[in-house]
């Protein structure tokens, strides 16, 4: 499927900021399921530099804007050819040992309830394939946390989302990572785009988890939609959790009130 992405992020400040610095992971890498046909990131008159490909295979770039600055617009426009590999990450260049993704951060630390959910999901599956066990965990998370926008916040942890029983794709992903870790399965957070059509949960800007499945390698699981990423998905970048995988991380001077406006559209060629 040929997908077109337009992702515009607009920061505006009530009082001009004295300057700002951001680190971006806004350029998807080519892998078996996606071929990047064209991709441009524009950042107004920000100074760009210090770009590198990190050990997880993501392009990282830091931008800075000298103040005073009252607005910054980041525009991503790209075209990607995708194929359905049933979520399996193939032909992807990275050097991080998978067991590194057993690291527990505040967002994904399993509490008793998450450990119990993990154990219950895997009950009786000891002899089953690693892939089936991963599917069981994703299903359990989907059933335990209902997709309800607005019930959680950016800093809500996996444990809190499970306790509340409601959340969005970020919460599903954190919870899936946590239950995977509880079963000693390496797992990580993936940020990306989804061509959602009508029936899929989540917005065009989406998140899912990748679990390390023995024999297959990294495999994506979208607990929000109870599926593995297919040709509707574009994989952007990854990390331990939402914060580590954030496509845009920024700092600005304290006391500046920031307004954030994000619009993302993913369209297939047939819709254009």
Partner 1 sequence: MLNGAEVRAAYESLERWHKSMPDDLRSLKQSEAENLFKRVGITFAVYGEGGDPERLIPFDMFPRVFTNSEWRKLDRGIRQRAAALNAFLADVYDRGEIIKAGRIPEHLITKNAAFEKAAIGFRPPRNIYSHIVGIDLVRTGADQFFVLEDNCRTPSGVSYMLQNREVMMRMFPQLFVENRIAPVDGYARLLKKTLASVAPLKCDSEPTVVILTPGQFNSAYYEHSYLADLMGVELVEGQDLFVEGDFVWMKTTEGPKKVDVIYRRLDDDFIDPLCFRPDSMLGVPGLMSVYRSGGVNICSCPGAGVADDKAIYTYVPEMIRFYLGEAPILENVPTWQCAKNDDYKYVLEHLSELVVKEVHGSGGYGMLVGPASDKSTIELFRQKIIENPGNYIAQPTLSLSACPTFVDAGIAPRHVDLRPYCLVGETIELVPGGLTRVAMTEGSLVVNSSQGGGVKDTWVLAE
- The distance of closest approach from Cβ of residue 245 to partner 1 in the complex, given in angstroms and rounded to an integer, is 11
Cα(45)–Cα(11) distance, integer angstroms: 14
Using CB under 8 A, which of the segments 9-17, 67-75, 94-102, 170-178 binds partner 1? 94-102
Residue 260 sits in the site that holds partner 1 (CB under 8 A): no
Residue 49 sits in the site that holds partner 1 (CB under 8 A): yes
DSSP 68: E
Which member of 64, 73, 164, 262 binds partner 1 (CB under 8 A)? 64
Q: N- to C-terminal Cα distance for the chain?
A: 13
- Residue 102 or 265: the one with the smaller Cβ distance to partner 1 is 102
The 187-194 sheet, strands edge to edge: 217-221, 205-213, 187-194, 233-239
Which member of 250, 262, 264, 267 binds partner 1 (CB under 8 A)? 250
Q: In the chain, which ranges are continuous DSSP H helix?
A: 112-122, 130-144, 158-164, 169-182
Which member of 116, 249, 265, 268 binds partner 1 (CB under 8 A)? 249
100: phi then psi, degrees, rounded to nearest 5: -60, -30
User: Count of CB atoms within 10 A of residue 192's CB?
Assistant: 24
> Which residue has tokens 């992702």?
7
Using CB under 8 A, which of the segments 30-38, 62-70, 142-150, 165-173 binds partner 1? 62-70
- Residue 138 or 209: the one with the smaller Cβ distance to partner 1 is 209
- The distance of closest approach from Cβ of residue 101 to partner 1 in the complex, given in angstroms and rounded to an integer, is 8
The CA-based angle 220-90-93, given to 5 degrees, is 105
Residue 23 sits in the site that holds partner 1 (CB under 8 A): yes
- The distance of closest approach from Cβ of residue 100 to partner 1 in the complex, given in angstroms and rounded to an integer, is 4
**Tokens standing for 78?**
């790209």
Residue 240 sits in the site that holds partner 1 (CB under 8 A): yes
Residue 22 sits in the site that holds partner 1 (CB under 8 A): yes
Residue 100 sits in the site that holds partner 1 (CB under 8 A): yes
For residues 138 and 169, is the Cβ–Cβ distance under 8 A? Answer: no
Cα(101)–Cα(181) distance, integer angstroms: 9
Which member of 91, 95, 112, 272 binds partner 1 (CB under 8 A)? 95
- Residue 11 or 233: the one with the smaller Cβ distance to partner 1 is 11
Residue 60 sits in the site that holds partner 1 (CB under 8 A): yes
Residue 164 sits in the site that holds partner 1 (CB under 8 A): no
Burial class from Cβ neighbours inside 10 Å (0-12, 13-18, 19+) for residue 60 reads middle
119: phi then psi, degrees, rounded to nearest 5: -65, -40
Dihedral angle of Cα 185, 188, 193, 198, to the nearest 10 degrees:
40
- The distance of closest approach from Cβ of residue 61 to partner 1 in the complex, given in angstroms and rounded to an integer, is 7
Residue 47 sits in the site that holds partner 1 (CB under 8 A): yes
Contact residues toward partner 1 (CB under 8 A) are: 19, 21-23, 47-52, 54-56, 60-62, 64, 66, 95-97, 99-100, 102-103, 240, 243, 249-251
């Amino acid at each position: 499927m040929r997908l077109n992405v337009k992702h515009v992020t607009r920061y505006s400040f009530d009082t001009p900021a004295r300057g700002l610095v951001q680190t971006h992971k806004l350029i998807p890498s080519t892998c078996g399921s996606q071929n990047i046909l064209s991709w441009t990131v524009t950042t107004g008159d920000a100074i760009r530099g210090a770009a590198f490909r990190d050990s997880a295979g993501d392009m990282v770039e830091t931008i800075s804007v000298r103040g005073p600055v009252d607005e910054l617009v980041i525009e991503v426009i790209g075209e990607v050819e995708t194929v359905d590999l049933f979520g399996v990450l193939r032909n992807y260049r990275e050097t991080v040992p998978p067991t590194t993704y057993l690291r527990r951060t505040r967002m994904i630390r399993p509490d008793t309830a998450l450990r119990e959910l993990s154990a219950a999901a895997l009950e009786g599956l000891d002899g089953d394939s690693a892939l089936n066990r991963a599917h069981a965990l994703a299903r359990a998370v989907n059933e335990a946390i209902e997709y309800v926008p607005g019930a959680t916040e950016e800093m809500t942890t996996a444990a809190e989302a499970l306790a509340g029983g409601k959340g969005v794709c970020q919460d599903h992903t954190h919870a899936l990572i946590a239950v995977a870790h509880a079963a000693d399965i390496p797992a990580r957070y993936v940020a990306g785009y989804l061509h959602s059509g009508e029936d899929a949960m989540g917005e065009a800007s989406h998140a899912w988890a990748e679990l390390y499945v023995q024999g297959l390698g990294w495999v994506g699981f979208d607990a929000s939609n109870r599926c593995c990423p297919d040709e509707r998905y574009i994989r952007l970048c990854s990390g331990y959790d939402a914060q580590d995988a954030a496509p845009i991380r920024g700092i600005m001077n304290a006391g500046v009130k920031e307004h954030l406006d994000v619009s993302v559209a993913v369209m297939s060629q047939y819709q254009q």
